[in-house]
Structure 1
Amino acid sequence: MTTDTTTKDTAPGAPAPGTTVLDARGVTMRFGGLTAVRDVDLTVNSGEIVGLIGPNGAGKTTFFNCLTGLYIPTEGEVRYKDKVLPPKSFKVTAAGIARTFQNIRLFANMTVLENVLVGRHTRTKEGFWSAILRGPGFHRAEAASRARAMELLEFVGLDAKADHLARNLPYGEQRKLEIARALASEPGLLLLDEPTAGMNPQETRAAEELIFAIRDQGIAVLVIEHDMRFIFNLCDRVAVLVQGQKLVEGDPATVQGTNASSPPTSANPWRTTPAPPKPPRSRPPKPRPSRRPKQPQPGHRPRRTRRQRRKPPRTPRPARRTTDDRTPRSRGPQSRLRQDPGRQGHLLQRRGR
């Protein structure tokens, strides 16, 4: 990744370092009777990396969706550069907020360069008729977009694979491509939802260097991540969400100390360090009641066992008689032949046998 020249300059349209870019006040999101996010306040300054951590189901991604216009908050407001964000995701992107998703959402059958060009649609000034007629202005805008897309691919280290299909890239490079597409909209705030999920240590280290390079351009970064070592090495401030509420916010050392020293109560069920082992039980175990045979009461009829409740076996049927045991019938000539073998020889002589 070549970041020697690109990280020294400030991104176009980026605010001055230290100014408040994002100001979320009392954000609450309800789905019927379920409150996913409850009264969350969070500010992000330009050139700052802020981490958002917490257990699964704490409301981190829901909070991201409220910031980017995918969800309209039930209560509270979100301000970007002192302006209330419109409740439309494409207008939020045009205002200067870009994001990546937990699951990679790329156009698999498009090239790497074309995926980045998709992110330039909010910064393209040419209209419908210009695209139809393809005049000189359209060609100038397309050339400028391609040049900017190639700069971003060089920034993330994918310029050599600009003509490759996105589906043929390794997992770590697909993550880089998604970040490059988000940067193509020239944002002042970049939201990353678990950018290192599923990466090996080398890819995680490369993603950390890339985020530092983005921060050096003056772009504010808000990161959701479950890797505590990665988040505490990366972020300037960390906020902890538990059950939709912000538990604590501060620098990484403060957050680590708060979670490590606080007792494991219902208000703080999550901690960055393992809880101390519980002491052994002091009370003795309850004695088990002895199983004594019950004495039959007078007039009580004992229950029959399963074997006693079975029906008595049926009496066996008499064996069937065989053919030799049966009494020969006296019907027809054949029966008479069986009764008198001499007659059978007489009949054979008459027939000439």
Structure 2
Amino acid sequence: MRLRLSGTSGPEGWPAPRCRCASCNRAADNRRVPLRITVDDVLTLREPGADAVSAPPSGYTVEVTPYGTRVEGPGGGRLLLARPDAPADPPAPGGADADGPGEDSDSRASGDGPDPGAPRHRVDVAIVDVGASPAAIGALRRAGAVAKSTAVLAVGGDHRVHSPAEFDRRARLWGASAPSDGQELWCPPSAWPPERAHGPHRVLVTGGARSGKSAEAERRLLGEAEVTYLATGPSPAGDAADEQWARRVEQHRARRPSWWKTEESPDAAAVLREARGAVLFDCVGTWLAGAMEDCGLWQERPPADAEDRLQARLDELLQVWRQCPAYVVAVTNEVGSGVVPPTVSGGLFRDWLGRANQLLAAESEEVVLATAGRVLELH
């Protein structure tokens, strides 16, 4: 099937009419109109749902599924216009689509046609409105509808993202392409989809308070089928007096996809040692604060071997970080950019965290700095 993407933006277009925001100004040189896909010049898709296509032409099958509108062409190519709320669960056992695991077992078929051994609900091209829900990519991968050989097209860009360049960057993080208006593509795809990071791969995201570092770390893993969220800070249930911390934890939980697994543990090394899939480690600073407390460094008179014990903890974490087979994104803090800490304990924490950040960065494939909600790659 030949796909013509006449429009690729969100519902208002990009730039939006009469909008003067910075994002729309940046998009003025490459205007995009609301989503519109033509298949072989015989049918048109605008949004997933029961009314997306009426009376499909002969030789084409159009089916409304829980994952979105699925089109199969005469040559067997399979296209999905995904629902933003696509479920992360695979089809029920025994159902029409129950025929195999997700992407981990997929191999790229040889030849130009569809893989005859692929599950029925798996598609060759998935079009996902990432402006509405980027997590839909991860849900489709978890459900098995999107595999390694599936070309994912990220559409729905508009002024919810601060620039077209940022939209393209996010699409690449999720292993997707961000097509332009007027672009033509094939289903099955004529080229393999872009690679995304897989384990073993380590990313360190650093930044100051409220810099957007946690949001960036979470964003990087929205396209993953299996994610463990490693929370190293104190449990809000065990610290009822700190209502601000409890609210902050709840905000983080609310923006994570429902299928992500949460591990609350101060022993980051133990969790990373057994990790598979993808892991979000949030964060190195809270892990270090807990380790310093366990070693007695917060006491007025720390034990003589306190720093040696802390160094052993850090060495263990580094060793596991170096050998971890998972795709790991870790959040850390930049605490050396402000005033000199007024207390001895504050200075000690700053020095140890700066040391830990340098050592973890040296063992990471990627290091990025978040500031004011923007992201800068550090080389």
TM-score greater than 0.5 by the shorter chain: no
TM-score, L = length of structure 1: 0.30
Q: Which has the higher helix share?
A: 1
TM-score, L = length of structure 2: 0.29
